[in-house]
């Protein structure tokens, strides 16, 4: 297995540059992640995803963050459905199913095969600027299981892989990991009683799990974020909870929580060494060869299980349908109906909601 297969790379703009084509053809990353900066209209987006697939010897994962609400990368041409918080408040499983179904259809038509959703964090601090405003399905673990589970189930029926986040308990963060490393002063048994329950309950239906950049000093004395912690990934997620089949992704290694202490190459090595499968390099991806050099220092045995999990995940992926403007217009109409089903006051921005960060949130 090529070490570069553990990289999920960002892309600079709506078209690939010659430097990107050269880099991606040489490195053969395991996948790509798209942001609003990459998307102009549906046809351009489909051309971009087709181009990315054409560069790869193996089917790449092509990921996006389309949660609904304010975290909805395709907003330039596809208005977002209600946020997780809005749908959860309305408490209509049929509407949530329609949102997951329409999201899956939209992404499939655009040539995207991995949605970095649903959020499984419990909303411990709805009033804080911890990047999760309006993105959680509730404070109760049962609400999160019921609502996020329905959304994920229906997007998967369209052949879109889902990724639960931000393990183990991103909702306990006080500050935003895009800027600095949050510290959570609880022990493992405390978040096992609540925060982990949605993951264990939905485990059979999860394709992937994203690990947060949160530090738990009662679990990891080395001041490592969970995304780089062998105690969290291998010890808790793999060994204790038996998440052996799902892909494990780091959150973006370009975030402030990582850059302030490690830098991307070292963080990439540590994430894989800790038991992860894939690392996200969303912005500074043109330096990806430095990360590959670090990965090359790891023993080959570490990559055996990663290859098995990647191959298993990719077997589930469907070939994108032929692009149809008529079908795309139908998808947009269906998404608009979902929003229209909620009372107007439930689809307006709440006073505590914050705009997307310049470093797009995930």
Which pLDDT belongs to residue 71?
96
Extents of the domains making up the chain? 8-346
One-character DSSP codes across 214-260: -B-TTT-TT--BGGG-TIIIIIIIIIIT---SSEEEEEETTSHHHHT
Which residue, among 341, 333, 336, 335, has the nearest Cα to 86 in the 3D structure? 341
H/E stretch holding 164: strand 161-167
CA distance 282 to 250: 11
CA angle, 254 as apex, 46 and 45 as ends, to 5°? 5
Which pLDDT belongs to residue 348?
57
CB atoms within 10 A of CB 290: 15
Cα–Cα distances in angstroms (integers) from residue 332 to residues 32, 95, 99, 128, in the given order: 25, 15, 11, 33
**What is the percent of the chain with per-residue pLDDT over 90, rounded to a whole number?**
81
Q: What is the dihedral of CA 13, 102, 204, 88, to 10 degrees?
A: 100
Which residue, among 171, 221, 218, 220, has the nearest Cα to 199 in the 3D structure? 171
**Residue 316 structure tokens:** 């589930």
Dihedral pair phi/psi, residue 74, rounded to 5°: -85, 15
Which pLDDT belongs to residue 362?
57
Cα torsion angle, 304, 310, 311, 312, sign:
positive
Q: Which CATH number fits domain 8-346: 3.20.20.70, 3.30.465.10, 3.20.20.300, 3.40.50.1000?
A: 3.20.20.300
H/E stretch holding 333: helix 325-340
Which pLDDT belongs to residue 350?
40
Three-state SS at 69: coil
Three-state SS at 303: helix
Which pLDDT belongs to residue 345?
64
Residues in the chain with pLDDT < 70?
345-362
Which pLDDT belongs to residue 351?
33
């Amino acid at each position: 297995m090529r070490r570069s297969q553990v990289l999920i790379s960002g892309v600079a703009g709506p078209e690939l540059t010659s430097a990107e084509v050269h880099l991606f053809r040489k490195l053969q990353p395991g996948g790509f992640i798209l942001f609003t900066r990459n998307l102009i209209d549906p046809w351009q987006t489909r051309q971009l995803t087709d181009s990315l697939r054409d560069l790869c010897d193996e089917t790449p994962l092509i990921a996006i963050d389309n949660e609904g609400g304010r975290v909805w990368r395709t907003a330039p041409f596809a208005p977002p459905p209600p946020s997780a918080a809005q749908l959860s408040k309305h408490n209509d499983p049929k509407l949530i199913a329609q949102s997951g179904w329409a999201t899956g259809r939209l992404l499939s038509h655009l040539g995207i095969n991995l949605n970095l959703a649903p959020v499984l964090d419990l909303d411990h601090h709805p009033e804080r600027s911890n990047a999760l405003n309006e993105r959680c399905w509730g404070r109760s673990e049962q609400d999160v299981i019921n609502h996020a589970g329905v959304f994920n189930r229906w997007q998967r029926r369209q052949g879109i892989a889902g990724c639960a986040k931000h393990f183990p308990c991103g909702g306990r963060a006080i500050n935003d990991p895009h800027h600095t490393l949050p510290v959570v002063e609880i022990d493992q048994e405390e978040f096992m009683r609540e925060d982990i329950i949605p993951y264990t309950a939905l485990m059979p239906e999860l394709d992937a799990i994203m690990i947060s950049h949160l530090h738990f000093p009662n679990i990891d004395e080395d001041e490592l974020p969970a995304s780089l912690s062998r105690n969290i990934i291998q010890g808790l997620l793999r060994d204790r909870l038996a998440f052996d089949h799902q892909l494990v992704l780091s959150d973006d290694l370009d975030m402030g929580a990582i850059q302030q202490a490690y830098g991307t190459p070292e963080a990439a090595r540590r994430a894989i060494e800790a038991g992860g499968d894939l690392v996200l390099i969303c912005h500074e991806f043109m330096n990806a060869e430095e990360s590959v050099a670090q990965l090359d220092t790891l023993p080959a045995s570490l990559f055996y299980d990663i290859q098995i999990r990647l191959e298993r995940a990719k077997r589930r992926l469907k070939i994108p349908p032929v692009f149809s403007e008529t079908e795309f217009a139908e998808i947009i109409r269906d998404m608009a109906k979902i929003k229209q089903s909620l009372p107007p006051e439930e689809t307006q921005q709440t006073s505590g909601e914050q705009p997307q960060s310049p470093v797009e949130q995930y």
